[in-house]
Amino acid sequence: MPLTLASLSLPEDLLWSDEYTGHDLVAQARTVTLGGALLIEESVQLAGRPITLGSLDERSGWITKAQLDALHALASTPGASHALTLPDGRSFTVAFRRPAFEAQPIVGYRAPGSTDVYAVRIHLLEI
């Protein structure tokens, strides 16, 4: 199954680098009362999970300049949400975290063509 963001196909070897870090499925608020007691409130966090997709290393997860331009167009619409489908079949509704992405050319050309490749890190947020 392909990796897609909205209608944009992305390389299947992009890694979800923060799948198990930086987010807890349970939100917690701690308050100390006037009497000195600790009050702990917990609830399931329904949204806000970060999803960062990135190249594993300098040899994988590359996208073309044409894909990068399409990604830039998606990220340029404020407040938009998009469907994200991972190669394992899981689907999420996401919005871009800002900055929306980082991209570095694999080979630096003065005037890159549409098929030149970039290592990318895409910053999303499950909503």
Could you state, in order of their start, the residue ranges of all structural domains in the chain? 3-126
- % of the chain with per-residue pLDDT over 70: 99
Residue type, 37: A
| pLDDT higher than threshold 80 for residue 22 | no
pLDDT at 45: 85
Say if residues 97 and 84 touch (Cβ distance below 8 Å).
no
* Average pLDDT score over the chain: 92
Mean pLDDT, range 1-6, rounded to an integer: 92
Say if residues 68 and 55 touch (Cβ distance below 8 Å).
no
Residue type, 48: G
What count of residues does the chain have?
127
Q: How far is CA 60 from the centre of its chain?
A: 17
H-run or E-run covering 123: strand 117-126
H-run or E-run covering 74: helix 65-75
pLDDT at 60: 81
In whole angstroms, give the CA distance from residue 84 to residue 53: 11
Encoded tokens for 79: 């407040």
**pTM summary value:** 0.85
Say if residues 30 and 39 touch (Cβ distance below 8 Å).
yes
Q: What is the pLDDT of residues 72-83, one digit of tens each?
A: 999 999 999 999
Q: Which residue has the higher pLDDT, 8 or 55?
A: 8
For residue 54, name the pLDDT band (cuts at 50, 70, 90): very high
